[in-house]
Amino acid sequence: MTTVGFIGAGKVTQALMKGLLSSGAVTPSRIYASSKTEVSLQKLKVFGVNTCLDNLWTVKNSNITVLAVKPISFPKILSEIAPAVGPNNVIVSVAAGVTIDSIQNRLPHHAKVVRAMLNTAVQIRDGAICYSTGKNIADADQELVHRFFSSVGLTLEGEEKHLDAVVGLSGSAPAYFYLILEALSDAGVRHGLSRDVATRHASQAMLGAARMVLESGRHPGELKDEVCSPGGVTINAIYSMEKAGVRAAMMDAVDSCIKRNYELARLNE
């Protein structure tokens, strides 16, 4: 059976761990986690997983080891765990801006490395995950990684050069959508709805629209046109959004995120 290790106890680790456990893909007894302080590990002990302050211990006990630490910490962490990385270990990085080559170069030549981008919705098994594999990943390893991530969301394999775009698009997108939902909820409150009712209606509308796109396979613009009757209320709302530059603002947000990701990558070269 697969054993999973986590190095780092931050929000990404907590979200991914919660999703994995709720999916039943792995049990608490088969998860090993380490961090630099007991205080940070307390956040993980509530899941009933094995914890330790020793990162080598985590690697030695896991088939898949997820590196969920800040990019600036990677050189130190990789040097520390290198002696424990064997031919059966799959090292998975979920850090922005850290390339497969930069990881591979600090580990033994046989190291199996995967780079993945995900979002925090993995905690409810509704995440968006994209991953790329290093040169030593065999078919069986790829299948293992794909099953691992598929248990917590939509999982696609892609070229590493596209992962930066994924960071800006789906990786950070929950924050964009929370901002939009908050604005829609504010609008509902402004017009007399309670905060709870306004937020629930806006959230369900966004969820339904997303499912329509995914399940129908149709272009968002086509689905938008179906809601916009000639001379109706919705096309007037769309006009207001276009006049305010909402479309350009969303594209600029993704561009800004990707630009920052490039900056982080240069810091870790």
Give the relative orientation of helices 11-23 and 38-45 as an angle to the nearest 10 degrees: 20
Contact (CB, 8 A) for 14 and 44: yes
Burial class (CB in 10 A: 0-12, 13-18, 19+), 60: middle
Q: Are strands 127-133 and 90-93 parallel, antiparallel or unpaired?
A: unpaired
- Please tell me the predicted confidence (pLDDT) of residue 264: 76
Separation between Cα atoms, residue 169 and residue 175, nearest integer Å: 11
- Please tell me the predicted confidence (pLDDT) of residue 29: 96
One pLDDT digit (tens) per residue for the chain, 269 residues: 689 999 999 999 999 999 999 999 999 999 999 999 999 999 999 999 999 999 999 999 999 999 999 988 999 999 999 999 999 999 999 998 899 999 999 999 999 999 999 999 999 999 999 999 999 999 999 999 999 999 999 999 999 999 989 999 999 999 999 999 999 999 999 999 999 999 999 999 999 999 999 999 999 999 999 999 999 999 999 999 999 999 999 999 999 999 988 887 777 65
DSSP characters over 123-156: GGT-EEEEEEE-TT--HHHHHHHHHHHHTTEEEE
**Region for 55 from its dihedrals, namely left if φ exceeds 0, alpha if ψ lies in -120 to 50, beta otherwise:** alpha
Please count the other Cβ atoms lying within 10 Å of the Cβ belonging to residue 236: 11
- Please tell me the predicted confidence (pLDDT) of residue 124: 96
Reported pTM: 0.88
- Please tell me the predicted confidence (pLDDT) of residue 16: 96
- Please tell me the predicted confidence (pLDDT) of residue 256: 94
- Please tell me the predicted confidence (pLDDT) of residue 268: 62
- Please tell me the predicted confidence (pLDDT) of residue 262: 82
Residues 6 or more apart in contact with residue 22 via CB below 8 angstroms: 124, 125
Backbone angles phi, psi at 95, to 5 degrees: -95, 140
Separation between Cα atoms, residue 261 and residue 263, nearest integer Å: 5
Look up residue 77 and give its two tokens.
């962490």
